[in-house]
Amino acid sequence: MVRGKTQMKRNENATSRQVTFSKRRNGLLKKAYEFSVLCDAEVGLIIFSPRGKLYEFASASMQKMLERYQKYSDDMNANKKTNEQDAQHWKEEIENMGQRIEILEATQRQMLGECLASCSMKELNHLENQVERGLNHIRARKTEILMEQIEQLKRKERFLTEENAILRQKCIQPHYADASISTTPTIGYGSIQHPEVETQLLMRPPEVQDHIQLKGSN
Check whether domain 15-60 has CATH 3.40.1810.10, yes or no: yes
Q: Domain residue spans in the chain?
A: 15-60
Tens-place pLDDT, residues 107-122: 888 878 887 888 888 8
Tens-place pLDDT, residues 152-194: 999 999 999 999 999 988 888 766 665 555 554 544 444 444 4
Tens-place pLDDT, residues 48-102: 988 889 998 998 888 888 888 898 888 888 888 888 888 888 999 999 999 999 9
The whole-number pLDDT of residue 182 equals 52
Distance separating alpha carbons of residues 218 and 199, to the nearest angstrom = 30
Tens-place pLDDT, residues 188-200: 444 444 444 444 4
The whole-number pLDDT of residue 134 equals 86
Alpha helices in the chain (DSSP H): 14-39, 62-111, 121-183, 208-217
Least confident of 16-20, 141-145, 146-150: 16-20
Q: Answer for the pair 50, 17: CB distance below 8 angstroms, yes or no.
A: yes
- Based on its alpha-carbon atoms, the radius of gyration of the chain, rounded to whole angstroms, reads 59
Distance separating alpha carbons of residues 92 and 100, to the nearest angstrom = 12
Distance separating alpha carbons of residues 137 and 2, to the nearest angstrom = 91
